[in-house]
Structure 1
Amino acid sequence: MDDDKDTYRETAHETCIGDRMSQAIVNTRQPGRAATAAFIGTMIEWYDFYIYATAAALVFGELYFPSSDRFVSTMASFATFAVGFFARPLGGIVFGHLGDRIGRKKALMTTLMMMGAATVGVGLLPEYSKVGMLAPVLLVLLRVVQGIAVGGEWGGAVLMAGEHAPQGRRTFFASFAQLGSPAGLILSLIAFRAVTSMDKADFMSWGWRVPFLASAVLLIVGIVIRLGVNESPEFERVKESKRTAKLPIAEVLQSSWGLVLLCIGANTIGIAGVYFTNTFMIAYTTQYVGVSRSLILDCLFAVAIIQFIAQPLAAWLAERMGGARFLKCAALLAMISPYPMFMLVQSGAAVPMVIGIAIAVICMASFYSVIAGFVSGVFPVRVRYSGISLAYQVCGAIAGGLTPLVGTWLAHRYTGQWWPLAVFYTCLAGISLLCIVALDARRATHAEHAESVGAM
């Protein structure tokens, strides 16, 4: 009997050790899984968002906002594009609250399903010629759902990757969530490049719907991948210690509103630059430079691949230089970049256009890659989802939503002149530079204060 008890104890002990070793293996794999899930999930979300942006530049004006004046149709189409950005802060607030209260993972699963359903809905939507005003109204409503979903997605994806990261690797791991943006752009450009090669009548009739309907397949892939990732360990510690915030957004606004404003400004070029060099550039080159739709999409596809390669390299370099120093350099270069870009784009030839747009995109994308990890570190864990989501999505509503509209107005107002557009881009990058300088100074002041308190 005693031998049986000893055997039982040994077996139980070995089982316990085995469970701990298995758990340790799982935990060592989780940072990679979390980074992969953040990348795949945001890639799908941004694919959905970008195909809408591309369709807004190429299709929606004619099909949902018909007018004798092409400028009016394009502005109306870009206005629906902007509506999605204005809905993003609502998504950031709602899912930031859920993410800080019940967990990052549950919030992310919900945003992914919302985005997939809305995107497929756009693909099934009848045109103005068939249902009249109901068509643009439904298009706007679906765009709002997309905006809410993306508003809740970004913060959670950044945190799931960053909060699973090994010590000292937050910037690099958080950049995988940012890498989903160029990957989604590449997928969206492939999809639209395929359908724009069709006969124009077929493309306008049903071809443009294919990229939207294909989102249903991507949705299933994204859900499967995210199910394999554990909840954020930093959030779990806060939850176990019962330190979760009751009203995270209220706490952020009460104690950190200055940080929120600075983070809104800091994100400007990372968000606005994407829609300037992609969404607006499609309309600008096709309407004012005389470039064909297929040529500009091919150029943007090449630039998107360059961006996809540049972003992880930028995150790696930022870990060695320091995030703040790297962001200052990237923003300064971004201020200069639109001038060579426009000079080369004006040629209307493929190679100069790729080089010109790539110059601006590399500077912008390097900044975009690093800013997520930088701003996530300025908020405490208990309100971090709400803090970074609010800052990023408010910036998205203002800078991202209005950039194509302002660009279209400037191009129309100063027809034949590109310098007002370049100055506009420089100002966007300058806002980010000033806010990064202020955030870095504020962080240094707080660090000095903490050291002085510790010394006392």
Structure 2
Amino acid sequence: MTSSMARRTALAAWIGSALEYYDFFIYGTAAALVFNKVFFPATAPATGTLLALATFGVGYLARPLGAFVLGHVGDRFGRKKVLVFTLLLMGIATFAVGCLPTYASVGVLAPVLLVVLRLLQGLSASGEQAGANSMSLEHAPEHRRAYFTSFTLSGTQAGQILATAVFLPVAALPQDDLLTWGWRVPFWCSAVVVVVGLVIRRRIDETAAFKRAKAAKLPVVTLFRNHWADVLRVVLAASVASVSTIFSVYSLSYGVNTIGLSRTSMLWVGVLANVVALAAIPLLAGLSDRIGRKPVFLAGCGGCAILIFPYLWSISIGAYGLVLALGILMSGVAYSAINGIWPSLYGEMFSTEVRLSGMAIGTQFGFLLAGFAPSVVSAIGSGRDGWTAVAIFTAAVCAMSAAAISTARETFRRPTAELGQPVRERLAPAAVQQA
């Protein structure tokens, strides 16, 4: 596969993921800042915030089911079909959120419709990253797989920047304007997302590796027969995404609603951290192409487990300078060591005929914990001093992820054609030749 095709595929994955996750992340921002007042005003303020954050987590409930369905489609019929479908579904569901009536207009029907649309967003997201990562990995040169697959996650960060940046002027609106029409504007912008994304993704070619592979009639059956241990590793490792949701959703809600920091100031922490991540992700991925996937990933887990304590503490005392510096260091640098590596690390555990299913199912079950992490930690760490329990929870998740990856095989020097094969199969030809 030529480098030009690898670059074109990586660029398409970057742009597509940025547009797709713009849709996904604006929901999280709105859940932290607005939805408790728009869809749950009849409850006490703390309860309304908890319910709003729970709707953010609901999107992750559909993701395991979607992983099975879209994983089957992607491994049986092609990666491209999955990528076009996920973008279309995400765009339609997101636009519809912006059109929803409020609780004041239709009562309990409003949050019910909100949950339904969030479930559709989750179904879309279940196949997005696995499809884009599989395609990028299979198009990439042998010695630069991590670098090229990292563009999917770099695009995800760009989507988060775009989502937060769109909310900056919206959050600065007077309260009445924000709660009536202002919060809807970012969701309506998804109409542009759909058009641009579909044009880009329809031009992507299917990978040669997928065309050569013999598609299994039931990829999931093959996956669990041959790769069940790696699926379990990915489930446990992917739970480290809780760092991202706690940073982007819980800490935003905690800083604004509990401590009283300004919405705009806290949003800027996310924007600047993600700007740093745009550069850090490909750099750290490139480093893993030279020294291995595991050292970089494990370093990221350790960094996040340590930095979450001073980061949340700095929010609790309202020290905005520290909040900004530590937020950039934790999310922009340490978490980028995880984000830049996992697309190749997880994808290289599986053979071509089950790669999309393995990545989708493993990550989405792991992301399920991440999706509900903001509401879980809001319940266990309520009040100004609750940040300690939240930090301990986050560090424990990082430790679990690190433990899972420490048992995985190192794959950065393994040829793409041999990925996912048992050791005995890879050694058999050499052993016969020596005999």
TM-score if structure 1 supplies the norm length?
Answer: 0.89
- Report whether the alignment pairs 1:216 with 2:185: no
Contact 1:345 1:356 in 2 (8 A): no
Are 1:440 and 2:415 counterparts? Answer: no
**Number of residue pairs matched?**
424
Within-5 A mapping of 1:186-225: 186-225=161-200
Contact 1:341-1:359 at 8 Å conserved across structures: no
Pick one of 84, 87, 97 that aligns with 1:122.
97
Deviates more, 1:129-138 or 1:373-382: 129-138
Aligned-residue offset at 1:348: 1.8
Letter of the 1:451 counterpart: L
Conserved? CA contact 1:342–1:356, under 8 Å:
no
1:410 and 2:386 are equivalent in the alignment: no
Provide the secondary structure at the position in 2 that maps to 1:229. Answer: coil
Among 163, 183, 206, the residue aligned to 1:231:
206
The 1-side partners of 2:425 and 2:196 are apart by: 48
For the pair 1:353 / 2:328, whether they are aligned, the reply is no
Aligned to 1:248: 219
Structure 2 partner of 1:384: 355
Greater shift in the superposed pair: 284-293 or 99-108 = 284-293
Identity of aligned residues (%): 34
Residue 40 (structure 1) shift: 0.8
Give the alignment of 1:246-395 within 5 angstroms.
246-269=217-240, 271-361=241-331, 362-395=333-366
Structure of larger gyration radius = 1
Q: 1:455 aligns with which of 392, 406, 431?
A: 431
Determine if contact 2:351/2:420 at 8 Å carries over to the other structure. no
Match of 1:30 in 2: 5
Offset at residue 237 of structure 1 (A):
1.1
Give deviations 1:336-373, integer Å, cap 9, x for gaps: 12122223333424321111112221211211110110
Task: Describe the SS at the equivalent of 2:359.
Answer: helix
Question: Shift of the alpha carbon at 1:255?
Answer: 2.5
Give the Cα–Cα distance (whole angstroms) in 2 for the partners of residues 422 and 111 of structure 1: 34
Q: What amino acid is aligned across from residue 209 of structure 1 in structure 2?
A: R
Matched to 1:297, the amino acid is L
Instruction: Tell me, yes or no, if the aligned pair for 1:30 and 1:230 is still in contact at 8 Å.
Output: no
SS at match of 2:20: helix
Q: Distance in 2 between matches of 1:157 and 1:126?
A: 34
How far apart, CA to CA, are the structure 2 residues paired with 1:117 and 1:428?
Answer: 33
Unaligned 5+ segments in structure 2 are: 412-418
Q: 1:438 Cα deviation (Å)?
A: 1.1
| Conservation of the 8 A alpha-carbon contact between 2:56 and 2:372 | no
C-alpha displacement at 1:90, in angstroms? 1.5
Q: Which amino acid aligns with 2:334?
A: C
Asked if 1:58 is matched to 2:36, the reply is no
What is the Cα-based RMSD across aligned positions, in Å? 2.0
Residues 351 and 421, structure 2, Cα contact 8 Å, conserved in 1: no
1:146-170 Cα deviation digits (max 9, x unpaired): 0000001111010111111112211
Residues 77 and 294 of structure 1, relative CA distance in 2, 3 Å threshold: same
Is this contact kept in 2: 1:162–1:173, CA < 8 A? yes
Change (3 A) 1:196 1:381: same
Q: How far does residue 250 in structure 1 lie from its aligned partner after superposition?
A: 2.0
- Give the partner amino acid of 2:112: V
Residue 261 of structure 2 aligns to a residue whose secondary structure is coil
Letter in structure 1 aligned against 2:388: W
Give, as a single letter, the amino acid of the residue that structure 1 aligns with 2:77: I
Q: Output the CA distance in 2 between the equivalents of 1:255 and 1:119.
A: 37
Inter-partner Cα distance in structure 2 for 1:451 and 1:295: 56
Q: Do the aligned partners of 2:135 and 2:206 also contact (CA within 8 Å) in 1?
A: yes
Superposition deviation, residue 415 in structure 1: 4.1
Letter in 1 for 2:430: G
| Segment drifting more, 40-49 vs 301-310 | 301-310
Secondary structure of 1:234 counterpart = helix
Query: In the alignment, what sits opposite 1:157?
Result: 132
SS at match of 2:318: coil
Deviates more, 1:385-394 or 1:320-329: 320-329
Q: CA deviation at 1:447?
A: 4.1
Whole-angstrom distance in 2 between the partners of 1:113 and 1:418: 38
Give the drift of 1:219: 1.4
Quick check: 1:288–1:416 contact (8 Å CA) kept in 2? no
- Cα offset for 1:254? 2.7
8 A contact 1:343–1:356 mirrored in 2 = no
CA contact (8 A) 2:294 2:410 kept: no
Residues 22, 162 of structure 2: 8 Å contact kept: yes
1:404-456 deviation digits (Å, cap 9, x = unpaired): 012211221x6424322211111011011100111138999954784377325
How far the C-alpha of 1:172 sits from its partner, in A, is 0.8
Q: Aligned partners of 2:343 and 2:48: how far apart in 1?
A: 35
> How far apart, CA to CA, are the structure 1 residues paired with 2:166 and 2:199?
23
